[in-house]
Chains A and B, each alone.
Chain A
């Protein structure tokens, strides 16, 4: 039998006695979150992980609430993850797809959102190609807004699930060195990860060709490197960004072969990394481009763990913004 005393027992008491950490109705960006708020999301997600392992994969926390997926940009996994997360906390879900909408008939974002809100919606999950669209939305509507990716700006739930995954394996992020490799300049995943990692005490090295990793990023508190091999042996985590194929033809991007040779994570490269290194990827993977198949499916890879953790993080975020909204109404 198991009779281990849980390490969280004493934390529970202190958490209950203090003022609540999370009071935000919206989740727009990791940049604005305090380390305590990030930790609160991760701790809450810890409680939601178990829900996905039961026979009845559902809790009644958001029963009677309505969540809308408002996606103006293609997405499969983030959208599915939010859909599943909403159903696991018992919220009702409306799925809005830009293509099939009146947007193609010229309706503005503001009008679309206000019309949807008029139907009695509690939380809008928005993905939009324009940076700042979710922030703008919070000024148009009264309901909660969760940013599921805006332009090249932020993708907070991806960053939260990434740090959650690292914490799950390594216990803490304090003092860890994390390399983010790829098209940093155009990546909202990289930006949000940078904030989350730094706030939790990790050191961040951004790796890629100079055209995709400008030195300006050092102003945000990261180290910039254009030599993957040099960084390889120094890091605890390697987060490989997806090569966005639509950029391949542009002048800032080297050819696929050249990129893959210099910045792809191959088995040969992995052999020179630390033996306990974690290999992460936000998906979907271009096998053989940024990540070799053997590495993606190998023992260092946390890719599938990230996907299932994403569900717990999104359940936690839906729960937290809803609780914060409940106290304001």
Chain B
């Protein structure tokens, strides 16, 4: 059976998946692929309650709100850098840069971080781990760095990103901005700037951005 790509769940994990699988089989959770130790679960649209929590306009407003929070908090007399975590953090970071420029920050250093080599589940991912380049061609030292990701859930991606940053330089401060804060932290990490919060740890969050997914939308389900 082929499922529409946009219903592919991100960050699906065995424990969560098993819970859902046990609770909701007749309601249409139809596919679980085991691949190199990881799980990819897909949800059949309509059968399981997939709820849109942000549409295109909601996403724009949320990002504007994030930019307001950042603008109110980071010092204006120092250098500001915005670094997105691949893949969707990169797109969101680019949008935040534009919004922050509108709020008087200019120039802003742009960076992209690939955290694959710093993940703590590399062994479990096996051949599924795809390495892409990190693009940080400015001096990290002494800047205020805003790290951008789409979803903060377990905190493990953020941990990996922080470790990667330490190897690249020593920013004056690192702040974390996320579009969606999902409960379920496994590490003592919190975001400084949050777009929206979801309520349940076992509710998947699927962030789509026009640049790579054809539309701006955030779904939970």
Contact = CB atoms under 8 A, between A and B. Distances in A.
B212 A13 contact: yes
A47 B212 CA distance: 20
Contacts of A9: 87, 90-91, 211-212
Given A59-B117, A59-B167, A60-B117, A6 B126 contact: no
B58 interface: no
How big is chain B's contact interface, by range? 35 or more
Contact of B168 (A23, A43, A56, A316): A56
B184 interface: no
Between A5, A16, A323, the greatest number of chain B beta carbons within 10 A of the residue's beta carbon is seen for: A323
Interface in B110-147: 110, 112, 114, 116-118, 122-135, 137
A186 interface: no
Given A1-B108, A17-B5, A56-B168, A10 B212 contact: yes
Contacts of B166: 56
B109 interface: yes
A48 B130 CA distance: 12
A61 B125 contact: no
Nearest to B209: A9
B35 interface: yes
15 contacts: A2-B137, A3-B94, A3-B97, A5-B211, A9-B87, A9-B90, A9-B211, A20-B36, A20-B126, A43-B132, A44-B130, A46-B132, A47-B114, A47-B116, A59-B117
Contacts of B123: 326
B8 interface: yes
Interface residues of A, number: 40
Contacts of A139: none
Interface string A49-63: 110001110111100
B163 A60 contact: yes
B75 interface: no
B110 A61 contact: no
Contacts of B114: 47
B167 A327 contact: no
Contact of A327 (B37, B97, B118, B137): B37
Contacts of A56: 166-168
A13 B87 contact: yes
Nearest to B136: A50
Interface string B57-86: 000000000000000000000000000001
A17 B137 CA distance: 29
B132 A323 contact: no
Contact of B109 (A1, A50, A89): A1
B209 to A, nearest CB: 10
Q: Considering the complex of A and B, which 7 residue pairs feature the smallest CB-CB distances, nearest first?
A: A327-B126, A20-B127, A47-B131, A56-B167, A59-B117, A1-B107, A61-B117
B37 A44 contact: no
B188 to A, nearest CB: 20
B132 A47 contact: yes
A2 B83 CA distance: 12
Given A49-B133, A327-B37, A23 B127 contact: yes
Between A12, A21, A43, A48, the greatest number of chain B beta carbons within 10 A of the residue's beta carbon is seen for: A12
A103 interface: no
Contacts of B211: 5, 9
A280 B5 CA distance: 44
A253 interface: no
B217 to A, nearest CB: 15
A47 B86 contact: no
B25 interface: no
A324 interface: yes
A324 to B, nearest CB: 5
B110 A324 contact: no
A230 interface: no
